[in-house]
Structure 1
């Protein structure tokens, strides 16, 4: 049973209710003298507390993505693929089918030399006969830190949540790509450092892989990027650094746009990767930021700083500020009906492209 799955969370809730009910039922029925009855009663109280604490702990983990699996929690890779293991090059990367139509692969980027996981979901139209010569826009989704691509699947209820928006017409058909943002487990705020070129991984290697194996529209206006928390900062930053790749970006509860000294200790490197400094270059990109008035990790003042820095032709839409909500998936899911349609409106529509035969996705067994 998955650590981050809904089933495990509901099982713990049921166990807590049963533990309390059993304690109430059996409290007066424990046999023996008073000197003996206290031990079973202490055990019953401890069981109630343990199950209740487990429910809270799992809720916190699912909200913040602290641990993505049992192996991650226990510090045991159990022989599975680790972040440091080199993957095959992009031209030999194989996608395998995961749950709910999601495809997954693990590959090594040509330019960054980093290896990491990438999830891809294609809209229903992608496989329909009338769309076989069509190419589609792309939405790149970035997770937070700590976290993983599966954070969007578990916490964001993908692909169901975005499939519903597409079915209603609020979001146009698009390929959804979810890459790991910190290959090798090294957080750089999606920046290129001397040892970890995470920006190159996200803005060059991942798009090259997806372009090669899926029927994508390749112009920047067909590629949008959206993220939450650290991924929100990364979305805005990468669009401003790579406007030739991403023409639009959305940030939900982003980390401070000035950068994090705890992640990039070199002040010059941190400044060079700050959206507040990148705004001076005036990249022609469209940005949208959403937060909650109660989110102390992503205050409204963070958005204000970006508003003051942005200059045309960079555009920053009026922000979405929810009155209530913390730094968690409950808040981010309430933003979905606003942020995803906004991003979709800034993407090119799927269309037939003459002279560009459909790509063949390599599916492994």
Structure 2
């Protein structure tokens, strides 16, 4: 049973309820002051409390998808053992190998021309040397005869750390939201490339090119857009590409847009922070290189890099987020010809519920700043 499945949640809830019922039924028999009775009471109380704790934890994870699998929960990364055989077709030469497909969870019947498609892929980065799994959402229009040959804008969608790409599909519902916005006439169809920023798990590389380590920024700024453009009907110019993410993914999105205006015309950071984290999960990112550390500080970069005609979207809340001050500083430091927009909620924490409120307008904002041609 998968960690996020309904079956494991039902079993945990049933076990908790069952242990509670057994405790109530057996409590009169265990009321004596004998050693066996004391041991029995202690065991039932501890078992019931543990079962309730597990059930509550699974319920919270089911709602917010903090962990996508048992391996993710216990810190075991299974993806490292995946072997992909590359053929000689256009997909392989483009750096993208499709390993499966799935139907988006959207209303409607029929094939991809009605509901779209999600491709499960592995992206190979020749410049960075990084291979990463991703989901590619293709809107229904991508398959319709009326749009044959049409180029589509694309958006890289990044999770936080240590999230999984599955969070973007199930928890944050990016494909469903994009579909709804298009149907409502609020956005244009876009290709979504969904993955985690942790392309060298379990290390949090903060989208930095690390000396003698993973070249994460190179993967996202060069390898990923090039591979997708060579595999799907997506252009290669900056106006064809955007990037969005939450938390760590939000920091990465803003950094990619700031450092690579020739690659990305628009970037959105949901609950982003503005300086690279440095803690046990990241290890030594900069190896004493002060220039690299300053470059990873977005506020410093805004003050010291020549502004480009890029668009930025930042989000925060007046109550519940710790990035309110940093977000205001970011807004104040953006200089023309760059443009900056913001979403400031009255209240909202650093969680999926908040991001679900921000994703629909953020996708509309991206759609208004990108083009397929």
TM-score range for the pair, normalised by the shorter chain length: 0.7 to 0.9
How do residues 301-340 of structure 1 correspond to structure 2 at under 5 angstroms?
301-317=325-341, 319-340=342-363
1:95 aligns with 2:95: no
The residue that corresponds to 1:131 in the other structure is 147
Partner SS state of residue 108, structure 1: strand
Quote the residue 2:320 is aligned against.
295
The secondary structure found in structure 2 opposite 1:95 is strand
Q: Tell me the number of residue pairs that the alignment of Structure 1 and Structure 2 aligns.
A: 344
Give distance in 2, aligned partners of 1:138 and 1:30. Answer: 66
Helix, strand or coil at the partner of 1:150: helix
Which residue among 134, 140, 146 is the counterpart of 1:118?
134
Q: What is the Cα deviation at residue 198 of structure 1? A: 0.6
Q: Deviation string for 1:3-35 (max 9, x for gaps)?
A: 2346544654454445445544x2556589664
Question: So what's the TM-score if we normalise by structure 2?
Answer: 0.81
What corresponds to 1:175 in structure 2? Answer: 191
Given the alignment of the two structures, is residue 346 of structure 1 paired with residue 369 of structure 2, yes or no?
yes
Q: CA deviation at 1:84?
A: 9.3
Distance 1:140 1:181 in 2: 10
CA contact (8 A) 1:4 1:154 kept: no
Q: CA RMSD in A?
A: 2.9
Separation in structure 1 between the aligned mates of residue 215 and residue 241 of structure 2, nearest angstrom: 21
Give CA deviations for 1:232-257 in whole Å, capped at 9, x if unaligned: 011111011111111001111112x1
CA contact (8 A) 2:319 2:348 kept: yes
Query: Could you report, residue by residue, the CA deviation over 1:66-119 in whole angstroms, capped at 9, with x for unpaired residues?
Result: 543212334555xx5318979857546421224434212224311111121121
Contact 1:90–1:107, Cα closer than 8 Å, also in 2? no
Contact 2:68 2:164 in 1 (8 A): yes
CA 1:110–1:92 in structure 2 vs 1: closer, same or farther (change >3 Å)?
closer
Q: 2: distance between equivalents of 1:323 and 1:10?
A: 36
Q: Is 82-91 or 181-190 further displaced after alignment?
A: 82-91
Q: Deviations over 1:116-155 (max 9, x none)?
A: 1121010111112222221111121011111222221232
Cα distance change of structure 1 residues 83 and 187 upon mapping to structure 2, 3 Å threshold: farther
- Pairing partner for 1:212 from 230, 234, 249: 230
| Alpha carbons of structure 1 residues 174 and 27: separation in structure 2 relative to 1, 3 Å | same
CA contact (8 A) 2:126 2:223 kept: yes
C-alpha separation between the residues in 2 aligned to 1:332 and 1:161? Answer: 12
Quick check: 1:19–1:48 contact (8 Å CA) kept in 2?
A: yes
TM-score (norm 1): 0.83
CA separation in 2, counterparts of 1:293 and 1:16? 38
Deviations 1:139-191 (A, max 9, x none): 21011111222221232134323322232222221111013322222322212
Partners of 1:275 and 1:84 lie apart in 2 by 35
Aligned pairs for 1:76-87 (under 5 A) are: 76=76, 80-82=78-80
Larger RCO, structure (CA 8 Å, separation 6 or more): 1
Which runs of 5 or more structure 1 residues have no equivalent in the other structure?
354-365
- Partner of 1:223 in structure 2? 241
Gaps (5+ residues) in structure 2?
Answer: 87-91, 104-116
**1:259, 1:81 → 2: CA distance?**
25
1:144–1:76 CA distance, 2 compared to 1 (3 A):
closer
